[in-house]
Amino acid sequence: MLPFHCPILPGEHLLGWVNRLHLLLGYPEIAASLKQLGISNTSFLYCRFNSAICDAISLYRREVKNDSSGFDKHTSLPMLSIGLPFERYAEMRLHNQGGIASEYRQARIACQANWKFCSLCVEEDLASIGHSIWHVKHQLLGITHCVKHSVPLQEDFSLLKDLRRGALPQIHRFPLSDKVNEELLVWSQFCHDMLILLSNDAGKGAKIVARAREFLAIPEITRVKDNSLPIFEILQRRFENEMPNAVLSHLFPMDVEFKSHKVSPIKKVFGFDKFSPDRVHPIYSLALLYWLRNDLALVA
């Protein structure tokens, strides 16, 4: 039992909540707090399913509610369900099995997994509850804007990589110089809507990817060497031509390699990538589903 009352707040990220528990415990070093809470002192990256987040989910089960809502509602991990076979995703969600960090390896994708916040949400939180929180909705891979306020999210590569070194968002004062990018705002809205969809239904991710496969008529073959089929070339060209430039250059900045088809979200998502045929970084699936969002009726 915690020695004080500190409920997790709606929409608050689990690791942000752990950080608030640390502040209340009063130890100068977070290592002491984590030891008392039974949480591994490994990196607090919102995208990692490492021992720290697994322990935080267990803490939530003990202290808040013994169900899967810690995973589903207080992390952005439901996004993983569009990049893993359903059985594997279900196993990690229900049994808190770690060890999938490699899915998130930074390859040719641009988006940094820094902790992000919206200055206007910080102001609203301060006015309503007296302090700011780390919102799950701002910690989605690839997201760039707060969809509530339509402003760019704030982030910092050095200060906000690992939340064990970060305080509440209200401490940070980064210059508000970025202009709203309309294409990235629409993209951010999609990321946000997908999180809501996936966090409400654990089986939805695999079903949507299966629908995408059917829609694109990707053949049901599993040999990776079949990845030179003409259909991939055709779909890749369509994908590149139809995706907004701002989104493509945000997600895949290695333009030359992208154009030479070394980075093919279509091959990756459907298991034709020789390096990881059974799993895919969810940002590739997300990009593909964004491209097909109207065809698959993923947006209202």
Stretch that binds Zn ion, among 27-35, 97-105, 146-154, 224-232 (CB under 5 A): 146-154
| Triad 245, 248, 251: Cα angle to 5° | 145
What one-letter code names the amino acid at 226? Answer: D
Pick the closer one to Zn ion by CB: 122 or 266. Answer: 122
Q: Determine the Cα–Cα distance for residues 194 and 64; give it in Å rounded to an integer.
A: 25
**148 touches Zn ion by CB under 5 A:** yes
Least Å distance, CB 134 to Zn ion, is: 13
**149 touches Zn ion by CB under 5 A:** yes
DSSP-assigned letter for residue 227: G
Stretch that binds Zn ion, among 63-71, 99-107, 141-149, 265-273 (CB under 5 A): 141-149
Q: Determine the Cα–Cα distance for residues 139 and 47; give it in Å rounded to an integer.
A: 8
**120 touches Zn ion by CB under 5 A:** yes
Interacting residue with Zn ion among 30, 37, 118, 122 (CB under 5 A): 118
Interacting residue with Zn ion among 30, 59, 84, 121 (CB under 5 A): 121
Pick the closer one to Zn ion by CB: 79 or 151. Answer: 151
Question: In DSSP terms, which residues pair with 154 in a beta bridge?
Answer: 117
**146 touches Zn ion by CB under 5 A:** yes
Pick the closer one to Zn ion by CB: 116 or 164. Answer: 116
Phi/psi-derived region of residue 44, left when phi > 0, alpha when psi is between -120 and 50, beta in every other case: beta
Least Å distance, CB 97 to Zn ion, is: 34
Pick the closer one to Zn ion by CB: 120 or 254. Answer: 120
Pick the closer one to Zn ion by CB: 92 or 143. Answer: 143
What tokens does 174 get?
């980064």
**153 touches Zn ion by CB under 5 A:** no
Q: Determine the Cα–Cα distance for residues 145 and 131; give it in Å rounded to an integer.
A: 21
- The angle that helices 204-216 and 86-95 make with each other, rounded to 10 degrees, is 170
Q: Determine the Cα–Cα distance for residues 268 and 225; give it in Å rounded to an integer.
A: 13
Least Å distance, CB 244 to Zn ion, is: 22
Pick the closer one to Zn ion by CB: 118 or 269. Answer: 118
Q: Determine the Cα–Cα distance for residues 282 and 83; give it in Å rounded to an integer.
A: 5
Least Å distance, CB 121 to Zn ion, is: 3
Least Å distance, CB 13 to Zn ion, is: 15
Stretch that binds Zn ion, among 91-99, 126-134, 148-156, 172-180 (CB under 5 A): 148-156
- By the 10 Å C-beta count (0-12 exposed, 13-18 middle, 19+ buried), 235 is classed as buried
Q: Determine the Cα–Cα distance for residues 195 and 6; give it in Å rounded to an integer.
A: 26
